[in-house]
Structure 1
């Protein structure tokens, strides 16, 4: 069985379409979506519609929570709070009540099994949509924050936009990176593939070429607030 895990689309429908085409080519059996669907991108409605059309399991990310209720003090640097809420308000203006209700009611984790392999997936940590667990965290930190509370063979998360795979205590931890806003310096969409065959697990970080100029130009086309900064991130693959 081949499973694809995608996340952090952030309203970049150009990148999402490229990833979905790649998934189709690879004959994936099932797709799972780990949150951050439409905020901070130029095409929030189109990205959200593409995700909903997959008719699959989708969980909430911190950016989905922000769309629903706004960005609060202490959740981002103080100097970014005003512009991020301006971006949030712009995003909300492109969605309808059904879209907002959908985001509000998303669950926060996925527990599934493939050929006897137990999988636990979440956005940031099992307990938080916001906590940041970077790739260079020590094993104890990862075990305490990502692998506690739910027995699994494979733990998947997103949120940090920097993909990696680690093996700890005979179990696998995988960050699948970001479809729409990669932060690791490679301006390509990122997602995770998990292949399970008779209890054996293969994990892959898949990078997909996206036209960065096309994706970045969308911000200006739609009059997105903070367009220059967001376009730079898309083109450079880093904050």
Structure 2
């Protein structure tokens, strides 16, 4: 739990799933600083991986000093080359971008990722508490989706007493009431999955009980989408050496940045169920593209 904050005016901001996309992060921060002036900012994990500016993103976030939880990508990369890494993530040939990301982070940056907590509770004087976690309780590799089964989500979060739950992982904005809890997801800064490549983040404003017909203080969410110059991205993928290292897999990640489609995660979902292709990633990408794409995704 973070220290109790005492603020006369309460506006919070939440950013997640940056995935090493520096131009997207910089555009979001300009918008945040110039138009929102939040009292506090929180990071929801997956700070790195899949875009080439991982060290630069870690440096920029370090300058800001905002509290963060870890996402599944942060967790895996922080464990590479340690006894804690487990199959299949010990296979560099299958996860070339993850290993490339690790190679381009400093020891201090990796230590920062290793120190991140799985969850965090935001406690503010006179405001409903907020629980932050990247995915589901005990499973940072699965998130809450707009179409998730309500009864199942209510069961998984039954032990949580906070009325507001904010997560990430899905790369899709969420504003949903389930089992007496308000579930929110800002979407993704670096790799949105909703056919819109703009950087996404969330702000919450504390409103008194007289607003919106709700009894007692409550949080009012506002979702933001910020345009940035995606034309900078292809050259950086190439100049960084990421494309040369990871080839077709990195091309899928680049496609996600440029068009906001879920190529990045959909391929990973498909590959996990295709053992015949797991030892030849280039052939796997070729076969995946033959079978799947917009309107025929593997992940349903």
TM-score by length of 1: 0.91
Question: Superposition pairs for residues 4-15 of structure 1, below 5 Å?
Answer: 4-15=13-24
The CA deviation string for residues 146-180 of structure 1, in whole angstroms up to 9 with x for no partner, is x3322112100000111110023443101111100
Deviates more, 1:111-120 or 1:157-166: 111-120
Question: Superposition pairs for residues 23-172 of structure 1, below 5 Å?
Answer: 23-25=32-34, 26-70=36-80, 72-73=86-87, 85-114=95-124, 115-145=126-156, 147-172=157-182
Query: In terms of Rg, which structure is larger?
Result: 2
Query: Which runs of at least 4 in structure 1 moved beyond 6 Å after TM superposition?
Result: none
Cα distance in 1 for partners of 2:40, 2:94 equals 33
Aligned-pair CA distance for 1:72: 4.8
Aligned-pair CA distance for 1:74: 5.7
**Cα 1:97–1:116 shift into 2, 3 Å:** same
Residue 224 of structure 2 aligns to a residue whose secondary structure is: strand
Give me the CA root mean square deviation: 1.8
2:276 is aligned to: none
Aligned-pair CA distance for 1:83: 5.1
1:78 is aligned to: none
Cα distance in 2 for partners of 1:40, 1:95 equals 13
Gaps of 5+ in 1: 76-80
Aligned-pair CA distance for 1:45: 0.2
Hey, which of these two has a bigger chunk of strand by percent? 1
Aligned-pair CA distance for 1:197: 2.8
Cα distance in 2 for partners of 1:90, 1:209 equals 28
2:223 to 199, 205, 208: 205
1:230 to 253, 266, 273: 253
